[in-house]
Chains A and B, each alone.
Chain A
Amino acid sequence: MTGRAAANASVPARFKPGDAVSVRRAHPPGHIRTPWYIRGHRGTVVHALGPFANPEELAYNRPGLPAQPLYRVRFRQREVWPDYVGNEADTLDIEIFQHWLEPAGGER
């Protein structure tokens, strides 16, 4: 089962649109859908997408429950790439699972 999971089989949502979050700088082995390049970076939640079964578990044909809230998180390119060429306003949106996010704290 992939996709939306029953509410009682999911972790409660911690974040909402507008929240500043950091991507954990962790490097576990396994099937990880948080790209390497974004780990350790700060972004802003733009959309709370609801709970999804965890692909890290689905990869081994396990149910991936409880489902993890998934978010679209927006990053500023200038903050992700030190040598970024483009507009200051250019952004990068990525879907990231809640267990990879921590509150960033403080104003951006």
Chain B
Amino acid sequence: MSEPHSHAHEHHDHAHPHRHPPRPDTDDTLGHFQIMEIAVRELLIGKGIVSPDEIQRAIEAMDTRGEALGAKIIARAWTDPAFKARLMADGTAAVRDFGVDMGTTRLFVVENTPTVHNVVVCTLCSCYPRMVLGLPPDWYKSRNYRSRTVREPRAVLQEFGTIVPADKEVRVHDSTADMRYLVLPERPAGTEGWSAERLAALVSRDAMIGVAIARTPA
């Protein structure tokens, strides 16, 4: 029975508001590392270590995570003080309300305030709150972001169009261990009485990393 080929498997991605052009699975030929992936997968399936179903389910699970899930958590924190208190005290436990299982990592929510702006980086690799936000963007894993954010955060933020006032503290979090950071952006002015659903639309992934702030109502 032949194993699935790399390009033969149709997969329906869930609707996602910000689509970017995908890298094609095969440009014209398979690269060395794509061949390695097929080989490792087929050998492991042959040895009964993983199954095609498990792989598919893991892909689908990761596809459900992303900006929308994070934004829901933020919007609930903005509208539900008791939830916010739980989130700040024990982020790992609080996000179980949303079906998030942090596994062996722990979620730390860092709150932006009138006096502190937080931004998150992993200089050593690419640690990211994947169980909430899904897979990180390329730039978060890039040499330039990883090198410069700890040393010149304000310049990096400016490249994202975010200016933090000179009298506000910028706090950089370098994820070096098992903590994963989610920034709780400041709730924008002019949103009094808004529902959590309406508020969630103001929260971008970039604001939860800390390179942006929440959008303001038009």
CB–CB under 8 A between A and B in the complex?
A: yes
A→B interface (CB under 8 Å): 2-3, 33-35, 37, 49, 52, 55, 70, 72, 77, 81, 84-87, 89-97
Q: Which residues of B contact A72 (CB under 8 A)?
A: 179
Q: Considering only CB atoms, which chain B residue lies closest to A71 in the complex? A: B177
Our pick among B124, B153, B167, B168 for the contact of A33 (Cβ within 8 Å) is B124
Q: Which residues of A contact B170 (CB under 8 A)?
A: 77, 86-87, 90-91
Q: Contact between B176 and A87 (Cβ–Cβ < 8 Å)?
A: no
Does B196 interact with chain A (Cβ within 8 Å)?
no
Q: Considering only CB atoms, which chain A residue lies closest to B165 in the complex? A: A87
Q: B170-188 vs A: 1/0 string, CB under 8 Å?
A: 1111111111000000000
Query: In the bound complex, what is the Cα–Cα distance between A94 and B150 (angstroms)?
Result: 10
Q: Which residues of B contact A52 (CB under 8 A)?
A: 177-178
CB of B176, distance to nearest CB on chain A (Å): 5
Q: Contact between B171 and A3 (Cβ–Cβ < 8 Å)?
A: no
A to B CB contacts below 8 Å, 18 in the list: A2-B178, A3-B178, A33-B176, A33-B177, A35-B124, A37-B150, A55-B177, A77-B170, A87-B170, A90-B153, A92-B150, A93-B172, A94-B173, A94-B176, A95-B176, A95-B177, A95-B178, A96-B176
Q: Which residues of B contact A81 (CB under 8 A)?
A: 151
Q: Which residues of A contact B168 (CB under 8 A)?
A: 87
Q: Contact between A87 and B167 (Cβ–Cβ < 8 Å)?
A: yes
Q: Contact between A95 and B172 (Cβ–Cβ < 8 Å)?
A: no
CB of A52, distance to nearest CB on chain B (Å): 6
Q: How many chain-B residues does the 8 Å CB contact rule pick out?
A: 24
Q: Contact between B169 and A90 (Cβ–Cβ < 8 Å)?
A: yes
Query: In the bound complex, what is the Cα–Cα distance between A95 and B123 (angstroms)?
Result: 12
Q: Which residues of B contact A3 (CB under 8 A)?
A: 104, 178
Q: Which residues of A contact B154 (CB under 8 A)?
A: 85-86, 90
Our pick among B123, B124, B172, B177 for the contact of A91 (Cβ within 8 Å) is B172
Query: In the bound complex, what is the Cα–Cα distance between A34 and B123 (angstroms)?
Result: 10
CB of A63, distance to nearest CB on chain B (Å): 14
Q: Contact between A95 and B171 (Cβ–Cβ < 8 Å)?
A: no
**Contact residues, B166-212 vs A (CB, 8 A):** 166-179
Query: In the bound complex, what is the Cα–Cα distance between A6 and B150 (angstroms)?
Result: 33
Q: Contact between B171 and A2 (Cβ–Cβ < 8 Å)?
A: no
Q: Contact between B179 and A95 (Cβ–Cβ < 8 Å)?
A: yes
Query: In the bound complex, what is the Cα–Cα distance between A52 and B154 (angstroms)?
Result: 32
Our pick among A37, A85, A91, A96 for the contact of B171 (Cβ within 8 Å) is A91
Of A37, A72, A91, A92, chain B has the most CB atoms within 10 Å of the CB of A92
Q: B126-156 vs A: 1/0 string, CB under 8 Å?
A: 0000000000000000000000001111110
